[in-house]
Structure 1
Amino acid sequence: MDLQHAGYGIKEPFFTGLDFFPDGRLVAVDNINRKCIILDDHLQSQGTSYTFNKNPFEVVCLSDSDLAVTMCEKSVFLLTVSSSNDIYLIIEIKISSNVFSACCMTPETMIVSTYDDSRPVRMLSLGGVETDFDHAVVPKKFKLWGSKITYVKSNNMLVLTDRFANKVHMYNTMTRMCREVTDENLKEPRGVCVHGNTVLVCSRLNNCIVHLTVDGNILGTYSVDLNGPYSICINSDETRLAVSGGETGNTKLLLYKMHKAYKIPYHR
């Protein structure tokens, strides 16, 4: 989808957050036009979109119908989607940190990355309770747009991209060990998602997706048909991969079909 002419807002959309519901519906958050929309397998909008009163950053699906969106001004919106794909606000959670990216740790707890905060990663319950890890995950502050996160539950591995340092941090929440991954393929890493027991990372300057093990080994790189991939997500049965990004005047949303035998995406 060419987002410049997609008609989702007054301005050219920029999808900073993507995630799949368990049934395969794709949720996209448009930071520029302050919208959340539902898309089908043909990237056609479904139901009624939701318009925020401030700029959203990231979206994470929490159940078959509920989702969370991180916002500017220190808040997280919890929303629900009806059977007809209309989106409604449940509650706005006000928190003490500037939050950017988010992922699920347990059914009741999210992990959020922060910016301009000495606590770069925090935990947030759906009831609004904030807690911190009892050990420094990454000893630094991130800038706005500086880090996106995901969590590999099978390995207790928290993965943080570090865009401006050209690194990926892998933190084991059980052993408290952290590994820094650097490679010529990881240039301004941005979006990241879980793929089985591995992760896929958007490499902005190389226009590709980098496939990493939780030990930091590179399994491969896959070129994508856009400049500056930003957000990425994969559906629950690992048959569809969505990637958004691009430069102003040429932003795109791409949907790939995953080859079951080799797990290599090809463009639909």
Structure 2
Amino acid sequence: MQANSDGDKTEATSPMSLSSQPIPLTLELLVSVDLPKTGDDEKEPLLTGLDFLPDGRLVAVDNYNRRCIILNERLQRLGTPYKFKYNPICVVCVSHDKLCVTGGAGSIVCKVVCLLSVSTHNTITLTREITTSSSFSSICCMSPSNMVASTYDDPRPARMISVDGVESDFDHSQTFSMKTYKIDESSCTYVQSKNTLVLTDRYAHTVYMNDTVKGTSKAVTDETIQEPRAACVGPGDSVLVCSENKNSIVHLTIDGKILGTYPVDMKFPRSICVSKDGTRLAVSNGPFGIRKLHLYKISMAIS
């Protein structure tokens, strides 16, 4: 919950999706589940990618058990998980029933992006497997037919890939932070209406806001941003980032203004997503401590 200057918790008013401008928000915890190893798991689950389908179902990829799973509003598993041949890293919903999953890190190293379809009855089917030239980790939508993915072991920290498997680079990439990251050192998201590529630099404790049209870049640092992990687009074209070593979520504008910080009751949050209508937020944590998955209601904070 967001606290006001007197320390009192604010109450929800209306969904943030109704606002076109980024403003502070309130997070109300709806569901929290632990993620222990179950009978059909080889290891304790590690959810490294999350996204919502337009109908509100939550999709998660379990890196350790090589699975894609569908969850309902109570965070209960629906249908039968899809089993990968490799360790999946991230997932993005590209249409009402289509998913794109990056993978290849782990015991089986391969450069691959998978397109999956999800039925209304929660059946997950592989529709296409794309071999890529770059190693991709996080992935997000740029347009209906194009995605942006962060890379590792590549001098281009983020690249574009189409649903047809065509890879390309940003025109102004020379103005961005051109570091070569290792796996788990950087993630990306893309604010479509602002043409802004967001890149996190975990060990530099920095979030980069890159204008892909103007070719400019802004480095955002703050004491609340410590080992930033996954990022996603929030209501009003804002950005939400997991601040792993602060056990919190940081809310900021693409101009770098900190709108708020939100502690989460889990150690080392690393994966995050917001529903298509801007009213729900899901977050999961890393491999250390008790693994959890939280679902929050997003509302506007009272000024």
Instruction: Give the TM-score range, shorter chain.
Output: over 0.9
| Counterpart residue number, 1:150 | 189
Q: Secondary structure at the match of 2:186?
A: coil
TM-aligned CA distance change 1:111 to 1:8, over 3 Å: farther
Shift of 1:246: 4.3
Distance 1:238 1:47 in 2: 25
Alignment of 1:63-102 (within 5 A): 63-72=95-104, 73-102=110-139
Shift of 1:195: 0.8
| Counterpart residue number, 2:292 | 252
Distance 2:167 2:122 in 1: 30
Q: Which runs of 4+ in 1 moved over 6 A?
A: none
Shift of 1:148: 1.1
Distance 2:92 2:57 in 1: 13
* Residue pair 2:230, 2:271 contacting (<8 A) in 1 also: yes
Distance 1:256 1:186 in 2: 21
- Asked whether 1:174 is paired with 2:206, we answer no
Q: Percent identity?
A: 54
Shift of 1:222: 0.3
| Counterpart residue number, 1:228 | 268
Counterpart amino acid of 1:85?
N
Which protein has the bigger strand share? Answer: 1
Alignment of 1:124-163 (within 5 A): 124-136=161-173, 137-163=176-202
Shift of 1:7: 5.3
Distance 1:263 1:66 in 2: 37
Counterpart amino acid of 1:21?
L
TM-superposition CA deviations, 1:40-69 (whole Å, max 9, x none): 000011112100000000000000100000
Candidates 34, 45, 52, aligned match of 2:77: 45
Candidates 224, 247, 256, aligned match of 1:216: 256
TM-superposition CA deviations, 1:190-219 (whole Å, max 9, x none): 011111210010000000000000000101
Distance 1:8 1:183 in 2: 42
- Asked whether 1:25 is paired with 2:57, we answer yes
Which TM-score applies when normalising by structure 1? 0.95
Which TM-score applies when normalising by structure 2? 0.84
Distance 1:211 1:158 in 2: 16
* Residue pair 1:158, 1:170 contacting (<8 A) in 2 also: yes
Task: Please tell me the root mean square deviation across aligned C-alpha atoms, in Å.
Answer: 1.5
Moved more, 154-163 or 12-21: 154-163
- Asked whether 1:262 is paired with 2:284, we answer no
Shift of 1:247: 4.1
* Residue pair 1:226, 1:246 contacting (<8 A) in 2 also: no
* Residue pair 1:98, 1:115 contacting (<8 A) in 2 also: yes
Highest relative contact order (Cα 8 Å, sep 6+), 1 or 2? 2
TM-superposition CA deviations, 1:57-102 (whole Å, max 9, x none): 0000000100000011111000001121010100110010111111
Counterpart amino acid of 2:147?
M
Candidates 106, 118, 134, aligned match of 2:143: 106
* Residue pair 1:166, 1:187 contacting (<8 A) in 2 also: yes
* Residue pair 2:159, 2:169 contacting (<8 A) in 1 also: yes
| Counterpart residue number, 1:56 | 88
- Asked whether 1:200 is paired with 2:254, we answer no
Bigger CA radius of gyration? 2
Moved more, 138-147 or 54-63: 138-147
- Asked whether 1:237 is paired with 2:274, we answer no
Q: Secondary structure at the match of 1:148?
A: strand
Q: Secondary structure at the match of 2:36?
A: helix
* Residue pair 2:91, 2:99 contacting (<8 A) in 1 also: yes
Counterpart amino acid of 1:9?
D
